[in-house]
Amino acid sequence: MAEQLRLMAVHAHPDDESSKGAASAARYVAEGVDVLVATCTGGERGSVLNPKLDRPDVWENIAEIRRAEMDAARAILGVKQAWLGFVDSGLPEGDPLPPLSEGCFALEPLEVATAPLVRLMREFRPHVVTTYDENGGYPHPDHIMCHKVSVAAFDAAGDPERYPDLGEPWQPLKLYYNIGWSRARLVATHEAMLAAGLESPYTDWLKEWDKREDKGDRVTTRVECGEYFETRDDALRAHATQVDPDGAWFRVPLDLQRKVWPTEDFELVKSLVDSPVPESDLFAGVREAVRAA
């Protein structure tokens, strides 16, 4: 192919790239696709979820540590990575919820927050962009803002009248939302664990499952990437402050995961090429368009 295919994955915090779409990214890197992760914030207000690292010296240097973790995960996945430079909004808790901190990502005007991503899209020139749905995947303020910025930048990057000082216009061809855990995937994995005589880490989640959470019917694209689940998990463990290596994320054997649900799932929401659904490739229709060009 005369022009290398390019994929941009837009995420809210360092570690999100390793828990959402990481195995697909690693697969595409192995196939020669140029993959760039755009990270909106530095994750400065994230929790320390690994009890072994919940220490004062870690909290005092959390911003630097999270950058180093991102470097390690990026190298494991084989992707490129760029920071958009915004400040983590944190996840407010309580009733009523406390206000967000002044200057954080979620409170930036949309036109301002979109600009760095427009610049990056015009520099990197992605054919395909992935991000979160309108609920952010889950309702974290930064995830929701990441969704808004990604959709706005997808539309603005190719418009010469928008952000005229941020580089030559470039229009990505497809936009996807990550679809993480559908109820079908959760049930299939849970039942496979029980059938194998193993304790399922999803028992309580299934009991508390809210039907409104299920986005299984929105999936248009399933990318086979079971071969890269180990790479995904290694990248996630590189974010040592953000994940407990002995936690639920790693209790399901990889061979069982590959057998039960060997794909990562996406929803195609915008396409400027002919790409009938269902799909098995984020570049369906794009490959043909690039060859024709």
pLDDT digits (tens, 9 = 90+) for 164-205: 999 999 999 999 999 999 999 999 999 999 999 999 999 999
What stretches of 172-290 adopt beta strand conformation (E)?
Answer: 174-179, 221-224, 263-271
| Ranges under pLDDT 70 in the chain | 1-2
Helix or strand run (H / E) with residue 41: strand 34-41
| Helix or strand run (H / E) with residue 203 | helix 203-207
CA gap 123, 232 in Å, rounded: 27
Distance CA 227, CA 236 (A): 16
Q: Is position 133 annotated in a ligand binding site?
A: no
d(C-alpha 258, C-alpha 192), whole Å: 11
Per the DSSP assignment, residues forming a β-bridge with 34 are 6
Q: Give the integer Cα–Cα distance in Å for 28 and 38.
A: 16
Query: Domain 6-180+216-292, CATH 3.40.1390.10 — does that match?
Result: no
pLDDT recorded at residue 88: 96
Is the pTM above the cut of 0.75?
yes
DSSP conformational letter for 279: B
Q: Give the C-alpha separation, 26 to 225, whole Å.
A: 8
How many CB atoms are closer than 10 A to CB 170?
16
Using alpha carbons only, how large is the chain's radius of gyration in Å?
19
For strands 174-179 and 263-271, give the pairing: antiparallel
257's tokens? 């995961």
DSSP run (H or E) holding 254: helix 254-260
Residues near 142 by beta carbon (within 8 Å), at least 6 away in sequence: 12, 13, 40, 41, 88, 89, 104, 105, 106, 136
Distance CA 253, CA 171 (A): 40
Question: By C-alpha distance, which of 228, 257, 180 is closest to 76?
Answer: 228
**Residue 186, CA distances (Å) to 120, 192, 205, 221 in order:** 35, 10, 9, 18
Residue 88 marked as a ligand binder: no
- The tokens for 208 are 């508390």
The whole-number pLDDT of residue 249 equals: 85
Instruction: Report how far residue 172's alpha carbon sits from residue 27's, in angstroms, rounded to the nearest whole number.
Output: 20
Annotated binding residue at 143? yes
Predicted pLDDT of residue 93: 87
Distances (CA, A) of 61 to 19, 58, 65, 262: 23, 5, 6, 37
Closest Cα partner for 67 from 17, 14, 114?
A: 14
User: Which single residue is written with the structure tokens 């969704």?
Assistant: 147
Q: Quote the tokens at residue 15.
A: 């570690």
Domain ranges of the chain: 6-180+216-292, 181-214
User: Residue 197 contacts by C-beta under 8 Å, 6 or more apart in sequence?
Assistant: none
